Structure 1
Amino acid sequence: MERVSWDDVRIFLHVARAGNLSRAAKSLHIDQSTVSRHIAQLEYELGLSLFDRARSGLTLSEFGKRFLKSTEAMETGFFKLKDELFAPGAEQRQSVRLGTMEGIASLYLTDVLPEFQRLHPEILLELVTSSQRIHVNQREADIFIGFFESLGRGMDAERIGRFALYLYAAPVYAERHGLPRNLGQLSGHSYIGYVEDQIQIDAVRWLQDLVPDPHLICVSSSMLAQMFLATKGIGLVMLPSFANAERFGLFRVMPETAYVMRDVWMNVHRELRYSARVKSLVEFLQCRFHEDTQFGL
């Protein structure tokens, strides 16, 4: 163990979480052969195999599973050490990474996060957006705000809000096609929605909750693109209340009956939750969502 390099261990953690050498190499910004060489060196020093290798990828061996558990504790200790060494007032800034989906990031969080930066200028906030899952338990982010509860190992998940989604239309759509007057007429209209084969989060199938078999006129993996397409009058679109789509000229269609509800979850790695840098953002987000009436539980 005295010959084991932390650099080899760090690369092992990436490979174990990715389950694939090429994905690990991409996240580390190094080439795949370098990753493979580090893993081989680590296995040589340990005298045991960390992975079972197959065409479909890598799976942890029994020893690898035990080694992962121990090295994750080492990694957590390293993060805690960084917090202690670079506490507020130290020369080097800390960072905290918040992962979430594009829509809630661009249409809501960008309005509230400047206040966090004002309150905590010593922290560099990293806002990471994706249309796919961001894995907090794989350290892709410190905190993840999403529309589902994460059940990963070592995760703390808290429901911090609940919001409504409504159908929206542009005036030009209403002029050309009219508007539905009841739920039974929804199937006779055109819609803008998500690209089906790119949906990885079932919670975003909100349009289908309201209109089981919608006539899709255009699809996009981006909520923002859907919204701006709707402003051109090509179809109806379903958007969350926090999008404040009225500012872009859209209006709600049958808001008393044509809506669905979704929860907002905050997912945090249990071992990072109480580090100073993460705790400050967790508490800020809890307060903001609880105070905002459109996210009332």
Structure 2
Amino acid sequence: MNLDPLDWESQRAFLAVLREGSLSAAARVMGVAQPTVRRRLDALERSIGVALFTRSPSGLTPTDAARDLRAHAEAMAAAADAFARAASADTGAASGTVRITASDVVGAEVLPSILAGLQRKHPGLAFELSLTNRNEDLLRHEADIAVRMAQPTQAALVATRVGTVELGFFARADYLKRHGTPKRLDDLARFALIGPDRETGVLRWFRDLGIDLKRSMFSCRTDNQIAQLGAIRAGLGIGVCQKALAARDPRLVPVLPRAFSHGLDTWVSMHEDLRRMGRVRVTFAHLVAALSAYYGKAAPGA
């Protein structure tokens, strides 16, 4: 093996192909020509003496060696991105890039208006939104700030609880007018339900709450929470929705509110080392204040 430890561009090409599945897609993401990606990938394979991909009808299939190297390449990419963000502005200035990770629904439905208000106060700020239900590792600086429905446990993280996300079953009023309204949780099996496709963790969550729902019971199945929310809004059936979001749409009405209501604590967290970064500190404080007001206003009885 004769790998130059500074040859990040070859490793970046490897990661792009791994993520995108083809040379052409990787080239588009990287903003370079396809032959450039091919040359960098060939150079990396020669350096380590191992084939990283095999060709298949669906594109490039990673070898076992490529899968073993993925975590290391991901860590390097996260470190490179963190370096770029750290260099994007003066340490103490409220300007530069802040990367925020949140769930699909919170990132698409809640955060944009909050961040717009912050950007009006600090036009030099730029935001990267990583919408995923996977807990990105703040310790490895994959993101600067996380908004999550779980309390962080790592000692190196600064975390503030901002409120409780209240969940409930909702449907469009015209759907219930056509099909009737369930009176008990057991009645749900007779209605069109909106729920997960492959995400078995959600089904376990329902069972832990005493609701025995199975994948076959959902007439609209998707693991994407934005798509689930869109299906509820479109009138495809009954699904779980944040009460604060349902309140925005007068067409949506609660279903079995006394039989099912669940709250998830919400936390904003960041690595303690980022407190000296003006852009991260300002963004963190704004998110804590805005989300506390948002979820406080949406709380039952508020």
TM-score norm. by structure 2 comes to 0.67
Structure-2 change in CA distance of 1:10 and 1:235 (3 Å):
same
Contact 1:148–1:203, Cα closer than 8 Å, also in 2: no
TM-score norm. by structure 1 comes to 0.68
Tell me the equivalent position of 1:213. 213
In terms of mean alpha carbon deviation, does 151-160 or 210-219 score higher? Answer: 151-160
The Cα offsets for residues 24-77 of structure 1, whole Å up to 9 and x where unpaired, read as 994755665455477689x8xxxxx8x9x99423657xxxx9xx9999999867
Contact 2:138–2:144, Cα closer than 8 Å, also in 1: yes
Distance 2:236 2:185 in 1: 20
Tell me the equivalent position of 1:84. 90
Q: Partner of 1:217: helix, strand, or coil? A: strand
Structure-2 change in CA distance of 1:12 and 1:279 (3 Å):
farther
- Residue ranges of structure 2 left out of the alignment (5+ in a row): 53-61
Structure-2 change in CA distance of 1:206 and 1:253 (3 Å):
farther
The Cα offsets for residues 160-198 of structure 1, whole Å up to 9 and x where unpaired, read as 33211111122222222211223343333321112x32x
Distance 2:182 2:154 in 1: 42
Distance 1:213 1:122 in 2: 48
Structure-2 change in CA distance of 1:78 and 1:107 (3 Å):
closer
Q: How many equivalent pairs are there?
A: 273
Q: Give 1:132 shift.
A: 5.1
Q: How does 1:47-58 map to 2 (within 5 A)?
A: 55-56=63-64, 57=66
Distance 1:165 1:279 in 2: 30
In terms of mean alpha carbon deviation, does 142-151 or 153-162 score higher? Answer: 153-162
Matched, 1:23 2:9: no
Q: Give 1:80 shift.
A: 4.5
Tell me the equivalent position of 2:183. 181
Q: How does 1:111-126 map to 2 (within 5 A)?
A: 111-126=113-128
Contact 1:207–1:238, Cα closer than 8 Å, also in 2: no
- Residue ranges of structure 1 left out of the alignment (5+ in a row): 44-48
Distance 1:257 1:154 in 2: 40
Q: Partner of 2:273: helix, strand, or coil? A: coil
Structure-2 change in CA distance of 1:137 and 1:23 (3 Å):
farther
Q: How does 1:233-272 map to 2 (within 5 A)?
A: 233-272=235-274
In terms of mean alpha carbon deviation, does 170-179 or 31-40 score higher? Answer: 31-40
Q: Give 1:285 shift.
A: 0.9
Which of 286, 289, 296 is the matching residue for 2:288?
286
* Amino acid aligned to 1:87: A
Tell me the equivalent position of 1:99. 101
* Amino acid aligned to 2:179: H
Q: How well do the aligned residues superpose, as a CA RMSD in angstroms?
A: 4.5
Contact 1:86–1:94, Cα closer than 8 Å, also in 2: no
Structure-2 change in CA distance of 1:36 and 1:268 (3 Å):
farther
Distance 2:156 2:13 in 1: 17
Structure-2 change in CA distance of 1:224 and 1:55 (3 Å):
closer
Tell me the equivalent position of 1:46. none
